[in-house]
Structure 1
Amino acid sequence: MTNSSSPIHSPDFDDFFESSLCGFVITDGEGKIAKINSCAAQWLSGSPAQFTSKRFSEILSIGGKIYFETHLWPLLRMQGRFDEVSVELIDTGKGKLPVYINGYERKDENNQPIFMRFTIFKASDRRLYEENLEIAKKLAENNLNIEQQNAIIREQFIAVLGHDLRNPLGGIMSAAQLLQRSELNERDKKLMNVIHSSSKRMYEMIDNIMDLARGRLGGGIPINPRAVDLTELLNQVSDELQVAWPERRIEANYNISTEVQCDPARISQLISNLLANAITHGSVETPVTINAQANKEFWEVSVLNEGKPIPEEVIKNLFHPFHREGSKSNHNGLGLGLFIASEIAKAHKGTLNVTSDKVQTCFTFSVKK
């Protein structure tokens, strides 16, 4: 029968002890080496017999020895173990060897130390790996910083470009309006209508690009809130869309008992985007519906349409910039409408959500007061 208090239990233990690729040291209760395996002895450029009866701290460098005696030894006696401590073995002529050590103390029934076991791992490869990992981390951080700086430059370029394009485009729109008032033949009137509608569309795109740049540069969508009659605002937006799509029906259901605080131009932009989206993608055989309610606690506007549901994988990115829902959007702009709508909602400290199933698709803008 083996003695459970002995540091060496069996021939299997001896084989494991000697053939291990890490260092093993067993000391008595006072910390004097009773047994050291060949691996640890080779690291110390000696034989196991040379280190027998030496105190464990004697195989450590001066700094490691001081740390062991002042910190690790008391810690071992108090809690019976320590893990993954970085020290160096004594200089044997080949330089100090960096290692990690684990310590374990076995006590008897009277709480007195019987022996201690120390496991030693070479730290050179691990430290090299950690250094390489740290270098790779710094390189990745530097690359990220460079990319972030490039992104800011790109967004600034977009903002400046959008601003500078407004002036010549404004001149084209003004000239087109003046020419439309002149005596023109039917052919020229059609051409002027194309110029006017196309330039207006370009102006809207530039506005969207500048809104995108503001959002990306961290400024968010600027708003100027004031007390607004929500019913009047929604009717105005609905009437404008009805003129653009006279063949489509837009129905309204309002339960509005109070004015709301908002930027009317931005909310008109948000609702117009949602309505145009519903008209474009909804069923042509059924109306688009606007539901709205406002009271002292919150106000909310929903735009609903019937038609094909939006796939779940599309909904995940629906409010991202440059996203386009299906092929119908290929000629409807840059894919910024819903992104800008969501940014307007955030600027009002509100939310913009969407649900879509086989029955209907519903975009809901909500603000808590």
Structure 2
Amino acid sequence: MPMQLSSLNVHPLVEQPADAPQLRPRLSDFIASHAEEILVAWDEFAATVSHGGNTLDAIALRDHACEILRTIAADLRRPQSPEQQDAKGKGLGPRASLPTAAEVHADFRMVAGFAVDAMITEYRALRASVLKLWARHGGGTRAEDLTDLTRFNEAIDQAIAESIGRYTNQTGTSAELFIGILGHDIRNPLGTILMSVAGLVRSGKLSETAAAPINNAATRIKAIIEQVVDFTRAQADGVMPVVRKPGDLAQQLAKVVEETQVRHPERMVRMEASGDFQGSWDEGRMGQLLSNLLGNALLHGSLWTEVTVQMWSTPSHVCVSVHNYGEPIPDEERELIFQPLQRGARYRTREGPQEAAGGLGLGLYICREIVLSHGGELTIESTRADGTTFTVSLPRQDAA
């Protein structure tokens, strides 16, 4: 429900003699005394915003505009030192413990289906309405008006920042919840499919050749879901979660190479290892790392040459490389391919079954996040003559 306009607390002006020149109010009092005129302009503009969401009535369009105006007017009246103004201009002002009117406005607009840019446009219109009306009534001509104008713009900017921050956080929370539910609910039927196929093969009702496409498709779906879940976790936490345990990395990765060869019997995958590979690793993440790198090499490498995994060590680090021949990755795309939901131009233009297997463009992003979470480094070299090599260098122990 919109707040009553009386809550804007118009400050009574000092009574002046009849023949004295009428003093113009400060901007804070002008906003209070002309609130309805400003809000009508808000209503008219909000009704024209194309947002692709639900159709809103007059009350819903205005929602928290009155409270936002009241907050701005109160902010303008509040004494402010130069240090406080400087801090506020840098976004370092004090924050309330409860949601502000601008944050609640963002909640309502998100539920109504407003895009964030449509919500920002409302604030731009509110700013313009206030300043146009104030200028029409003679505001902006005194020395103190410049201070009021600066603080008004700071207050509007703060409201925009609060709304955007709230909108972004709420959107991120909703996405994380959805992805979590999606990952949980899809894993169960996929597990049923894989167990059922295995049972049919054991009973002789289905040949291994006929079961292979079903297993590959289910495994691929499972991998995509895991990538999406991992991507969401990395975005939310800022780092890929890992649990390190002592072990021999070569033994752990050899199992991944063997499983990859079984899934791709028509291709040659070879592993060479020489050195000491003891250290502290997250075995599951390391398997995921190599599986993604091998999948990338098999998908984009030459069909007639082998994919090679090599491992070597130094006293402090263990290194792993995955090499394939094929079209080189252009220099300008070598950072792009590590970005989430992105792939290089030559990958985006591929057609046919291999393109479908390319997934969401999260594999290499997740690889880099796994390496970074272990305190390591992932690099790439790619030329037509020498092929493409992804090299991982990992410290044996957690630096922390």
| One of 171, 175, 181 as aligned partner of 2:202 | 181
Matched, 1:200 2:198: no
**8 Å CA contact 1:349, 1:367 repeated in 2:** yes
**8 Å CA contact 2:329, 2:383 repeated in 1:** yes
| One of 331, 338, 342 as aligned partner of 2:368 | 342
The structure-2 alpha-carbon separation of the partners of 1:193 and 1:292, relative to structure 1 and needing over 3 Å to count, comes to: closer
Q: Secondary structure at the match of 2:302?
A: coil
| One of 292, 302, 309 as aligned partner of 1:290 | 309
2:389 partner letter:
C
Question: Counterparts of 1:142-221 in structure 2 under 5 Å?
Answer: 142-184=163-205, 192-218=211-237, 220-221=239-240
- RMSD over aligned Cα, in angstroms? 2.9
User: Hey, what does 1:233 align to over in structure 2?
Assistant: 252
Structure label with greater radius of gyration: 1
Which range moved further: 334-343 or 196-205? 196-205
1:358 partner letter:
R
Which range moved further: 288-297 or 156-165? 288-297
User: Hey, what does 2:273 align to over in structure 1?
Assistant: 254
Shift of 1:150: 0.7
Q: Secondary structure at the match of 1:349?
A: coil
- d(CA) in 1 for partners of 2:328 and 2:311? 22
Shift of 1:141: 4.2
- d(CA) in 2 for partners of 1:214 and 1:185? 38
- d(CA) in 2 for partners of 1:95 and 1:264? 68
- d(CA) in 1 for partners of 2:317 and 2:278? 11
User: Hey, what does 2:286 align to over in structure 1?
Assistant: 267
Matched, 1:330 2:351: no
**8 Å CA contact 2:272, 2:309 repeated in 1:** yes
5+ unaligned residues in a row in structure 1: which ranges?
1-93, 100-122
**8 Å CA contact 1:352, 1:363 repeated in 2:** yes
**8 Å CA contact 1:321, 1:336 repeated in 2:** yes
Q: Deviations over 1:240-286 (max 9, x none)?
A: 22223334333444331241211222111101211221122122343
Shift of 1:185: 6.5
| One of 97, 122, 128 as aligned partner of 2:149 | 128
The TM-score, its normalising length taken from structure 2, stands at 0.55
User: Hey, what does 1:299 align to over in structure 2?
Assistant: 318
- d(CA) in 2 for partners of 1:201 and 1:250? 19
- d(CA) in 1 for partners of 2:282 and 2:288? 10
- d(CA) in 2 for partners of 1:250 and 1:284? 12
Shift of 1:300: 1.3
The structure-2 alpha-carbon separation of the partners of 1:155 and 1:252, relative to structure 1 and needing over 3 Å to count, comes to: same
**8 Å CA contact 1:230, 1:256 repeated in 2:** no
Which range moved further: 150-159 or 321-330? 321-330
Matched, 1:362 2:381: no
Aligned length, in residue pairs: 251
2:383 partner letter:
D
Shift of 1:331: 2.8
- d(CA) in 2 for partners of 1:284 and 1:214? 34
1:340 partner letter:
I
The structure-2 alpha-carbon separation of the partners of 1:126 and 1:238, relative to structure 1 and needing over 3 Å to count, comes to: same
Q: Secondary structure at the match of 2:246?
A: strand
Q: Secondary structure at the match of 1:293?
A: strand
**8 Å CA contact 2:234, 2:241 repeated in 1:** no
5+ unaligned residues in a row in structure 2: which ranges?
1-137
**8 Å CA contact 1:258, 1:295 repeated in 2:** no
Q: Which of the pair is proportionally richer in helix? A: 2
Q: Which of the pair is proportionally richer in strand? A: 1
- d(CA) in 2 for partners of 1:185 and 1:250? 28
Matched, 1:277 2:283: no
Matched, 1:243 2:237: no
Q: Deviations over 1:140-189 (max 9, x none)?
A: 44223312321222122111221122223222322222222224266xx7
Which range moved further: 266-275 or 353-362? 353-362
- d(CA) in 2 for partners of 1:154 and 1:368? 34
The structure-2 alpha-carbon separation of the partners of 1:170 and 1:316, relative to structure 1 and needing over 3 Å to count, comes to: same
How many percent identity over aligned positions?
34
The structure-2 alpha-carbon separation of the partners of 1:144 and 1:256, relative to structure 1 and needing over 3 Å to count, comes to: same
Shift of 1:219: 6.7
Shift of 1:193: 4.4
The structure-2 alpha-carbon separation of the partners of 1:247 and 1:180, relative to structure 1 and needing over 3 Å to count, comes to: closer
